[in-house]
Amino acid sequence: MFPTLHILYKFTVGPWGGGNQFLKALRSYFRDAGVYSEDPKNADIILFNSHHSLKEVYDIKKKYPKKILIHRIDGPIFYVRGKDELIDEIIFQANRIFADGTVFQSNWSRTKNYELGLSRNLNERVIVNAPDPKIFNREGKKPFERKRIRLIATSWSANIRKGFDIYKFIDNNLDFDKYQMTFVGNSCVKFKNIKWIKPVPNQQVAKLLKEHDIFVIASRSDPCSNALIEALHCGLPAVARNDGGHPEIICKAGELFEDTTDVLTSIEMVSNDFLRYQEQIRLSTLNEVGKEYYNLAQSIYNEYLKGNYRPKDVNFFSVGRLDFKLKRWIKWQKSSIKFQPYHRILNTLQDLWNRSILRKAFAKYKQ
């Protein structure tokens, strides 16, 4: 029996966050494998992501209670952003209510989520992300040249925790006679020596990566950096902050640093033995990652068909507790964004309301 899957997620076209890019690549894999359903009502298994589209998750579970739901979790959000503990509470509650299976993006992420209170799931896996191989590959990769070593960093988010303290330090202290460096994405700091390129589509990101030698990533508590994974797939060894999921992704294909005291030394180490580090790049392909997702989904579904597993039942009280947390989150967001530009306030509130299970959910339940 070959069950079909649907990814319940509002995809964004063009340059956006890492989760959006990975889920688009995963959807392409499922489509190519012939196991993807474009309509969630026709899918046997629904994959939902983090705290997104929870109202739609509830509506589907209410209408189709026997569907298998798999929850892809990153974070914890509190560690990634340094705030927003309530979002983690919402994610944990949604996982308890809906998830028949859980996918973590790194062992670090699984451990930290459990430490903050996530309940264990009988069906769970750690599956590291992979990029679209048609885009992120070594085709056209420029050879390494010592005369002026080319460094690059990328980030969609401009949050200071994405490593901008380190990038600013590099900008002020790197030997720019020996090195050159490019930053691609949104930045909360201005650079004097680092070349800054605003966000560009995936194809252009890959082209830029292949024109450089070493990838630098300084983000804090990043569970599974798609930027890092994309760079490694393009053949760039990495220099990464010793935090989050970076160590288990890089393994021996680069060097780790702690802070400003050793980042330049780590860059020097990789530069001095570039080919050895490059040869140590070991990553799962999208084909392998897609198979891991599908194998988890199929195993749960087969147990359901055998009568050995019953999809989770959703009750009014559990949904009520989740909605209470969502209302608290909306209230907090209203108070925290009062000084933002008017259009951002409207967009944020509309997005939060669209995610809220309260919206029509209880009315449907009582019918």
Query: DSSP letter string over 85-145?
Result: HHHHHHHHHHHHHH-SEEEES-HHHHHHHHHHTPPP-SSEEE------TTTSSSTTPPPP-
Asked if residue 233 lies in contact with residue 203, where contact means CB atoms within 8 angstroms, the answer is: no
For 158, list phi and psi in degrees, rounded to 5: -100, 15
Give me the sheet containing 214-217, strands edge to edge.
195-197, 179-185, 149-155, 214-217, 238-241, 254-257
pLDDT at site 82: 74
254-265 pLDDT per residue, tens: 999 999 999 999
pLDDT at site 256: 98
Residue with tokens 């990838």: 215
Asked if residue 352 lies in contact with residue 54, where contact means CB atoms within 8 angstroms, the answer is: no
pLDDT at site 87: 86
- Per DSSP, the three-state class of 184 is strand
Asked if residue 187 lies in contact with residue 196, where contact means CB atoms within 8 angstroms, the answer is: yes
Residues of the chain with pLDDT under 50: 337-350, 353, 362-363, 365-367
* Cα distances (angstroms) measured from residue 144 to each of 75, 150, 256, 294: 35, 9, 21, 38
Residues belonging to the chain: 367
Domains of the chain: 5-130+286-366 (3.40.50), 149-279 (3.40.50.2000)
Asked if residue 361 lies in contact with residue 324, where contact means CB atoms within 8 angstroms, the answer is: no
pLDDT at site 321: 64
From the number of C-beta atoms within 10 Å of its C-beta (0-12, 13-18, 19+), residue 263 rates as buried
**What's at 122, amino acid-wise?**
L
Mapping DSSP onto H, E and C, the string for 207-255 reads: HHHHCCCEEEECCCCCCCCHHHHHHHHCCCCEEEECCCCHHHHHCCCEE
Helix axes 226-233, 202-210, angle to 10 degrees: 50
pLDDT at site 340: 44
pLDDT at site 222: 93
pLDDT at site 345: 46
pLDDT at site 84: 72
pLDDT at site 184: 97
pLDDT at site 54: 86
Neighbour count for residue 86 (Cβ, 10 Å): 17
Max intra-chain CA distance, the chain:
72
pLDDT at site 325: 64
pLDDT at site 18: 74
Q: Phi/psi zone of residue 37: left (φ > 0), alpha (ψ -120 to 50 degrees), beta?
A: beta
Residue 151, beta-bridge partner list: 181, 214
